[in-house]
Amino acid sequence: EAQVTQNPRYLITVTGKKLTVTCSQNMNHEYMSWYRQDPGLGLRQIYYSMNVEVTDKGDVPEGYKVSRKEKRNFPLILESPSPNQTSLYFCASSPTRNYGYTFGSGTRLTVV
Amino acid sequence: QKEVEQNSGPLSVPEGAIASLNCTYSDRGSQSFFWYRQYSGKSPELIMFIYSNGDKEDGRFTAQLNKASQYVSLLIRDSQPSDSATYLCAVNRFDDDTGNQFYFGTGTSLTVIP
């Protein structure tokens, strides 16, 4: 089944403790992206990647890191999480730059 | 000013009616336009995309784009209770200066009443 898989689905952590949210797609898509969704603010792009080793900032990149060492994987790293990063995170992939994204199931992160 | 604006609703329509959802965007350089559906607690799923002015039909869904007025709309014909969800409008611009930026609206909540 063609899909975007992200883990974990739920995560509660403490301020400052480094964490990684994994994302993998099995559709051989070139583009991958991370979004956060917050009430009243909608979906906002954090980072995106156009191919292996090519990444760029989205709308809200501060406090996040990404890497694309393999085409299928695009992990999101929070080096020092803070409570304002409590949110619902989605990973997504797309075959081309102007095609719609396919979203993963989401990761609900709480930073206390 | 937000990049993409949508009326948050809620919009209620009776079963079998036409639901009309609207979206405006601020960047005249936007090139691709999308409608997503998001059920409560689920991830967004792509319904339609449109690149050119005019209408694009897919089953019960029609996307309409007017670049001069900077608006995109989605019509859902013969609305069903299963269409009850939040509908997200998204726009995309890609060029050497800005890269590949996607902007989403905050969504319109639709309820179809049986």
**Do B44 and B36 contact (CB within 8 A), yes or no?**
yes
Determine the Cα–Cα distance for residues B43 and A53; give it in Å rounded to an integer: 27
Residues of A in contact with B99 (CB under 8 A): 48, 56-57
Cβ separation of A102 and B46 shorter than 8 Å? Answer: yes
Cβ separation of B46 and A59 shorter than 8 Å? Answer: no
Between the alpha carbon of residue A66 and those of residues A62, A63, A102, A105, B1, the distances in Å are 11, 11, 19, 19, 28
Band (pLDDT 50/70/90 cuts) for residue A79 is very high
**Do B37 and B44 contact (CB within 8 A), yes or no?**
yes
The average pLDDT across A86-107 equals: 94
The average pLDDT across B36-59 equals: 95
**Do A92 and B95 contact (CB within 8 A), yes or no?**
no
> How many Cβ atoms are within 10 Å of B51's Cβ, its own excluded?
12
Q: Does B106 touch chain A (CB under 8 A)?
A: yes
Q: Closest Cα of chain A to B1: distance in Å?
A: 12
Q: Which residue's structure tokens are 């992939």? A: A93
Between the alpha carbon of residue A55 and those of residues A7, A43, A46, A67, the distances in Å are 21, 19, 11, 7
Q: What are phi and psi of A17, to 5 degrees?
A: -90, 115
Q: Across chain A, which distance is largest between two alpha carbons, in Å?
A: 38
User: How crowded is the C-beta side of B59, counted as CA atoms within 13 Å?
Assistant: 5
Cβ separation of B101 and A50 shorter than 8 Å? Answer: no
pLDDT in tens, B71-88: 999 999 999 999 999 999
pLDDT of residue B1: 65
